[in-house]
Amino acid sequence: MTHTTQPKPPTPAAQKLSDNDLCALIEADLNRLTGTLFVIGHFFEGAEADALLQAQEHIMTMIRHAAKVADRVVTYSQHGVHLMSGAAQEEIMQAAGILASLEVMTRTTDQDSSASDAVMSSTLDAARDCIDRALALMSPDSSEGVRYQGVFALETWHAQESESVGLSLANEARSVRGR
């Protein structure tokens, strides 16, 4: 008896998505990511030592998934696919770096230390803030965008103010040297 296998149908070419569709998928991933980070952060704040030990593998899986989502945006950027502003990509790259360091930190922290829980929680908050800022930059009309408008305006004002102070100091230094 000969075993015949059915020929496999040719795999369809990769689905072509418009830039807007791809950006929407990334944004949805980022929204899930920020939710995941929120849940993990609250877990570290109130967990007992035994619960932390039991759930550590699950937490590591969640952190790895979150890092993969952020890394996907970084990979798109490295391959020339710029679906969002450079500032949003920078925020996501920063979050990816934070999440990568968080994975290392999780493996090496002393399980009995409440200080390590506080560090984990604040690190997760930092990654979440980066993701929220990226979402705000991608969708200025979203709830994140509206929430961050004041922050972005303040940062822009501060940068312009620093630049003008720097220019006036440079001009003053030139005039002193010219005397």
For 16: left if phi > 0, alpha if psi spans -120 to 50, otherwise beta; the answer is beta
Q: What is the pLDDT of residues 151-160, one digit of tens each?
A: 777 777 777 7
Q: What is the pLDDT of residues 6-24, one digit of tens each?
A: 444 444 444 565 666 666 6
Locate the domains of the chain by residue range.
19-139, 140-179
**Residue 106 · residue 63 · CB < 8 Å:** yes
CATH for 19-139 (1.10.10, 1.20.120, 3.40.50, 1.10.890): 1.20.120
Residue 1's pLDDT band (cuts 50, 70, 90): very low
Is residue 91 predicted with pLDDT exceeding 80? Answer: yes
Hey, what amino acid is at 17?
A: L
Higher pLDDT, residue 16 or 80: 80
Q: Which two tokens stand for residue 54?
A: 């039991």
